[in-house]
Structure 1
Amino acid sequence: MQISTNKRIEVIDITGKISEIVKQSSINEGICIIYTSHTTSAVFVNENESGLVSDIMDMLKKLIPPNAGYRHDTIDNNADSHMRAVLLGNSAIVPFKSSNLSLGTWQSIFFVELDGPRKRNISISLVPTTNSS
């Protein structure tokens, strides 16, 4: 799946797109692995409430402020993006059953751009599981 981002830091709910991929597959039950291979982006699962999403981004800015004299900034001026990606992680695993994601009531899957705007690739892997009953 490819995403085009519009801002330097952007949080995008990709739950619908992932859900559609799962529904269109021939796999009824398994796990869905969502992975970004970019070192300045992330994937996470949490509640899609605008205040919470803003709070998460504010937390990252407080923990890792931009332009704080990081050594990597002498190369790309994006060290903060790399370090924020380390904290958030580059993948999520979500089980699915009957071709539906098994997310909690308030859970959504997010892609996070940390050094945009850019075109980003997200790998989606569906791994079937067997029901032992």
Structure 2
Amino acid sequence: MLKNFKLQTAEHDVVKLNDEIVEFVKSSGVESGTCTIYTPHTTAGLTITSFWDPRGLEDLQDEIRRIVPTRIDFKHQHDTPQDAAGHIKSSLIGVSMSLIIENGELLLGHSQGIYFLEFDGPRNREFYVKVQSDK
């Protein structure tokens, strides 16, 4: 079972995806299996982190920007220096993840959230969720 989701991001946005993904997994009827989440963008990423303190999400983007700052001396300048930095950030963070489904639910820790990270933006974005049964 595969579903395509659309979203609109702001510059350097962090978007929580839990609600849509959890609902899709429940509606799939899969009791035991895997859930794969994927985004087909080269300046975005997917991650799991704590949702307790929203400022932690700011810290996450701040640290990613510190590790890979926007600069004009990148060898590839497809669109802008921000776009070039976004390609590197996306490669480091990753564009897909697989999660376990058991008893019809995602196995997530009590404070874990699934997030879409925008490294450019604002943009119209999408991500895919595929649920597969073990049976």
Q: TM-score, normalised by structure 1?
A: 0.90
**2:21 matched to which residue of 1?**
18
Structure 2, gaps ≥5 residues long: none
* Paired position in structure 2 for 1:115: 120
Conserved? CA contact 1:47–1:108, under 8 Å? yes
Q: Look up the equivalent residue of 2:68 and give its one-letter code.
A: I
Give 1:53 deviation, angstroms. 1.2
Any idea what the Cα deviations from partners look like across 1:6-32, whole Å, max 9, x if unmatched? x22100000111000001112121110
1:126 aligned residue (124, 131, 135): 131
Instruction: Name the amino acid aligned to 2:75.
Output: R
**Is 1:76 equivalent to 2:79 in the alignment?**
yes
Which residue identity does 1:16 align to in structure 2?
A: D
Residue in structure 2 matching 1:3, options 7, 31, 47:
7
The one-letter code of the counterpart of 1:2 is: K
| Deviation for aligned residue 1:98 | 2.1
Cα distance in 2 between the residues matched to 1:44 and 1:51:
16
| Corresponding position of 1:92 | 97
User: What TM-score comes out, normalization by structure 2 length?
Assistant: 0.89
Question: How far did residue 120 of structure 1 move?
Answer: 1.1
Gaps of 5+ in 1: none
Is the Cα contact below 8 Å between 1:45 and 1:92 reproduced in 2? Answer: no
Correspondent of 1:31 among 30, 34, 52: 34
Q: CA deviation at 1:59?
A: 0.9
**RMSD of aligned alpha carbons:** 1.2
Query: Offset at 1:123?
Result: 0.9
Query: Deviation above 2 Å: which 4+ runs of structure 1?
Result: none
Identity of aligned residues (%): 29
Corresponding residue pairs, total: 128
1:45-90 deviation line (CA, Å, top 9, x unaligned) = 11113222111111111111112411222x3111111111111100
C-alpha distance in structure 2 between counterparts of 1:27 and 1:62, whole Å: 41
Partner of 1:54: 58
